[in-house]
Amino acid sequence: MSPELMSLMMFILLALFILTGMPLGFALATTATITGLIDYGFNIPALVGVFMNNTWGVMGNIIIVAVPLFILMAQLLERSQISEALFEALYIVVGKVNGGLGIAVVIVCVILAATTGIVGASVVGMTLLAVPTMLEKGYQKEMISGIVCAGGTLGILIPPSIMLVVYGGLTGLKETSVGNLFAGAVIPGFILAILYLAYVAIRCNINPKLGPPISSKEAAKYSATDKIMMTMKSLVPPLFLILSVMGTILFGIATPSEAAALGVIGAAILAAVYRKLSWEVIKQSSYNTLKITSMVMMLFVCGNLFSSEFLAIGGGDVITDLLVGGTLKDYPMVVMAIMLFAVFILGMFIDWVAILLITIPIFLPITMDLGFDPLWFSMLICITLQTSFLTPPFGYSLFYFAGAAPEGKYNMLAIYKGVMPFIFLQLAGIILCVIFPSIITYLPNLFFGQ
């Protein structure tokens, strides 16, 4: 069977298995097994040997050690309730301006993103904490859902991001090391946050009914000194944790895995300071870390089987010839746009881990053949993947929000409508990074050199 037909068969089988409701990891592994049996002439021992070597290679990847550590850090932080203290302080400080509570939510989401690196914790936490208050103050329902869902997705991009750790472990390139990816994601992440803040402030000033301020009487309960003290008290602990993780990586003091271990210690200290650290918290955090890490590793192993078999049958060459073998090779930006668009569309339907495992072994070599900076292109992929949490019909943030929102207040249509402006803001962020590559490359060059 020709490589073209084998490649097409793999994607058709994968789509069919996913549509039947099969878990994604099993769908990837089953597709790889069926294709591998055909490719190896039903030589089962040979195929098992190849799969064992691939799995051993994944398990021997030292970068992946950081995954459970960052997840454990996020689990401990979720129970330290730093978001509650920070939101309460910002509620008083910026709540008296139009859209002030929305601005507070985005700021808290940025802090959570820079400490936890997990979307679900940010979206669910802010939904439970902020949505009832915002509804009570008269915020438009769609505006609320858009702010919380978009702000929460920053956790997958702003370091320490699990996605960047997985990406760095997947490529094995010096240019796309976890340290470089972390540095490259900082400015794009904050640009997206600024776009969100600007949108909320402008829309709510044009139409105050979308996000009315809290009453002057409520804001006047606290003096300027009280507001400063409240803000500092709630900001300093998470900033300490951010410095202990990101600072040690960027300044070359620690590897990502070592920094993740420091982050776990810092998260435990913060939980103890907020009097939330107990044996039950440690036990539950460890159990959740085990479950999430097992899921990630299962996807990682199964995705590796799929991508390695796809490359073994010549699928990589098929895609390369399709994109750069004809007239398109003279238009590298068009090729890049096609790849980013493919990632964007895939993000509407499947998990970001699977998208990385399927596309990166194919797209990254094409990118390097076209002469693009692999770090720049990698960050464009990661920013595009962030939109997968917002894009209907299966954006994870949308379902996190729907599951945690006050009962009877939301339907999926209202949530979809709320996130649409923020999807366009994220696309605007991607365009900025395409036009000005230094947005991505400046900090990696500053801290790690060319």
pLDDT in tens, 400-438: 888 888 877 788 888 889 999 999 999 999 999 999 999
* Residue 16, pLDDT above cutoff 60: yes
Residues 235, 86: contact at Cβ < 8 Å?
yes
Q: What pLDDT does residue 351 have?
A: 74
CA 397 – CA 121 distance, rounded (Å): 10
pLDDT level of residue 328 (50, 70, 90 thresholds)? low
* Residue 126, pLDDT above cutoff 90: no
Is pTM beyond 0.85? Reply is no
What residue has token string 């299966």?
394
Residues 188, 142: contact at Cβ < 8 Å?
no
CA 432 – CA 253 distance, rounded (Å): 32
Q: What pLDDT does residue 312 have?
A: 81
Cis ω before 160 (30° cut-off from 0) = yes
Per residue in 150-169, pLDDT (tens digit) is 998 888 888 888 888 888 87
Q: What pLDDT does residue 327 have?
A: 61
Eight-class DSSP state of 406: P
Closest CA to 421 of 144, 119, 128: 144
CA 224 – CA 222 distance, rounded (Å): 7
What residue has token string 């320490």?
160
Contacts of 235 (CB under 8 A, 6+ apart): 86, 89, 111
CA 139 – CA 133 distance, rounded (Å): 9
* Residue 439, pLDDT above cutoff 90: yes
Per residue in 79-121, pLDDT (tens digit) is 777 777 777 788 788 878 888 889 988 988 888 888 776 777 6
Q: How far is CA 116 from the centre of its chain?
A: 11
Cis ω before 212 (30° cut-off from 0) = no
CA 1 – CA 90 distance, rounded (Å): 63
Q: What pLDDT does residue 355 have?
A: 83
Q: What pLDDT does residue 56 have?
A: 78
Buried b (16+ CB within 10 A) or exposed e, 406-438: eeeebeeebbbebbebbbebbeebbeebbeebe
Q: What pLDDT does residue 26 have?
A: 84
Q: What percent of the chain has pLDDT over 70?
A: 95
pLDDT level of residue 320 (50, 70, 90 thresholds)? confident
Average pLDDT, the chain: 83
* Single-letter residue type at 273: V
Q: What pLDDT does residue 326 have?
A: 61
Residues in the chain: 450
Cα atoms in the 13 Å half-sphere on the side-chain side of 16: 8
CA 376 – CA 363 distance, rounded (Å): 13
* Residue 200, pLDDT above cutoff 90: yes
- Regarding predicted confidence, which is higher, 291 or 324? 291
Contacts of 45 (CB under 8 A, 6+ apart): none
State the DSSP string of 215-260.
Answer: PHHHHTTS-HHHHHHHHHHHHHHHHHHHIIIIIHHHTTSS-HHHHH
